[in-house]
Amino acid sequence: MPYARVVVVYDEVELLRKGNPAWALLRADHAALVLSFLDRVFVDTNASAIPAAELVSDLDDELYALNERLGAGTFPRAAAAYLDDWADPSHGWLRKFYPPGSDEPHYDLAPAVEKALAWVRELRPREFIGTESRLNTIFELLRQMVQGADTDPARHLADLQRRRAQLDAQIARAEQGQIDLLDAVALRDRYQQFARTARELLADFREVEENFRQLDRRLREQIAGWEGSKGALLDELVGSRSSITDSDQGRSFRAFYDFLLSAERRAELTTLLEQLSSIGVEELDPRMQRIHFDWIDASERTQATVRLLSEQLRRFLDDQTWLEDRRVIELLRGIESSALRLRPFGAAKATMEVEEPRVPVVLPMERPLHTPPQVAPIESGSVEVGEGVFDATALLEQVYVDREQLVQRVLGLLRARPQVSLTEVIAAEPLTHGLAELVGYLALREPGLEVVFDDDGRAQVRWTVDDAEHADDGAGTAGLVRVADLPRVTFERRGAEAP
């Protein structure tokens, strides 16, 4: 097992070395420029969302001063090029974005830079390292966790009575003029821990914002790849622990934000920070006098980020809903249009037939049994000679359409012009064989001749049926006119010349 633990630690460290932005920053050639400039511009002033023009101007001044001191060519690139390189996803030291309502890019510090700066600050030698205050903090945190998770009222009551006895003893000593004071070493120890924790808390806000953005990105990916119903998706988003405001990160941040918004707590914190400067602590950082205002500004930015992400997520869901509702609206408009078209006909004619809903019932015994096929008897005897004389009138009366004659008619009309219609051909040479001859025109296929059908136009072809053709009608059909309605047909010359 110890070997497995080493392997896991080695893989994790190797992964961080290759892909962590903070580690890549410490290994960069211009790490000193990146850390010093970003520390001065973003961290020291607690700034965020700096416009590109302002940041480029500030970096340009920084590069000019460094080139003057270290020699020309130390930093040869332009300030905008350095910022774009630092904001590139391969580095991830700055976040470049466009705020709502602005067409100018802005820059914000990435949490990886804060981690790299904290590691660099720890490399500085410290003359004094306090341990007592941290031990007291450990005891106090352990006491809060154990008591906060204890469900026995008797133990809670015993602890409260013990603490009240300690307070009563301190009150009695204070009434007698005996006050327990901290010496200079204890004050310095506690101040170092306070200052470090205050700076770390301020730096954590950027990572909190980044965690919210990562959470929002995961929610969008989940929505984009969702294949279930919309109700199930909303249940997943609202009831899941991965929602933005109900996550562990969100609840912890909300508790901190509520603490800062409490007027009583904020007034007490302001009073304590004002009294800090009068107790004579060495290495007093002036920034600690207003650290709570920096906390409020950072928390407001984080809260604004949460509101923006929630609003964007709501619009994203609204877009998904609009795309689904659009089809429903189109169907409803189609129904309304159909109803308006049918309204002049009255309610009696505006009817619709719907199949009666029923379940088909098929019983196994209703299927017919196998029926063998019937075999037709075939008599194959000797061939006998039939009658030599019979009436062949039916064979001679068969209609024969001379295709070559039809081709010559069309080509004869095409000698004088490039195209001719079917109605013009029939007007010049009326149909003598009726429908069979008309079909023969439509089926012409000849080199140099093309038949074009125009479905957008209509034409009518007429011919007269004689009495001999329909003598069996019994009603006298002499002079009966037949009409064929068909698409417009045109004959054109193509390729070879007509003879």
**How many CB atoms within 10 Å of residue 62?**
18
Q: List pLDDT tens digits, range 260-270.
A: 667 777 777 77
Instruction: In the chain, count H helices and then E strands.
Output: 17, 6
DSSP sequence for 237-292: HHHSTTSTTTSHHHHHHHHHHHHHH-HHHHHHHHHHHHHHTTS--TT--GGGGGHH
Mean pLDDT: which of 359-368, 432-441, 472-481 is highest? 432-441
Give the pLDDT confidence score for residue 128 in this predicted structure: 61
**206 has a pLDDT exceeding 60:** yes
Q: List pLDDT tens digits, range 49-106.
A: 899 999 999 999 999 999 999 988 899 999 999 999 999 988 888 988 888 778 889 9
**How many CB atoms within 10 Å of residue 358?**
6
Q: List pLDDT tens digits, range 375-421.
A: 888 777 777 777 767 676 666 667 778 888 888 888 888 888 888 88
Q: Sketch the domain layout of the chain as residue ranges.
A: 22-122, 181-329, 400-493
**171 has a pLDDT exceeding 60:** yes
Mean pLDDT: which of 158-162, 254-258, 284-288, 463-467 is highest? 158-162
Give the pLDDT confidence score for residue 133 in this predicted structure: 67
**In the CATH hierarchy, which top-level class contains the domain 22-122?**
mainly alpha
N-term to C-term CA, the chain: 100
What pTM value is reported for the model?
0.47
As a whole number of angstroms, the distance between CA 111 and CA 93 comes to 8
